[in-house]
Copies of this chain bind each other. A is one copy, B any other.
Amino acid sequence: MPIKVRKNRSEAPPPPCALTECMAIIEGAWAPNVIWQLRGGPRRFSELRMDIPPISAKVLSQRLRELEQRGVISRHVLATTPPTVEYRLTPLGSELLPALNAIVEVGHKLKLAGFHAVQRS
């Protein structure tokens, strides 16, 4: 009979995979680093700048605001002179740590395998 049978190929993994939700936060050169640096507890603006070597104040500020807006981190101004600002992960932000952890794990394996990041095209 002329029924068009499914070919023997692997099927497309069913529906819209939930990659984007998390990637939207993780994406970019610095956002994951910021989250990662906050995993050990609160840190200040200038601390983050030194933790994440060559990040400019502008970009760090942008990412911090963005992450705060998304509810991933929270911002706390301490009444000192000069003013001090601490950032820390929110509970929602902490949910991202397993994913980052897995990414770091893979990174280690890649390094051991002699992998070196290549320029993109």
Contact = CB atoms under 8 A, between A and B. Distances in A.
For chain A, which range describes its interface: under 10, 10 to 19, 20 to 34, or 35 or more residues? Answer: 35 or more
Interface of A: 9-13, 17-29, 32-33, 36-37, 39-44, 47, 50-51, 62, 65-66, 69-71, 92, 95-96, 98-111, 113, 115, 117-118, 120-121
Assembly of this chain: how many copies? 2
Contacts of A104: 17-19, 22
Interface pairs A-B: 4 shortest CB-CB: A18-B107, A10-B41, A102-B102, A21-B107
A53 to B, nearest CB: 8
B117 A92 contact: no
A70 B23 CA distance: 21
A67 B109 CA distance: 17
B117 A20 contact: yes
Contacts of A41: 9-10
Given A95-B110, A105-B99, A110-B95, A117 B10 contact: no
Contact of A102 (B42, B101, B115): B101
Contacts of A109: 95
A98 B105 contact: yes
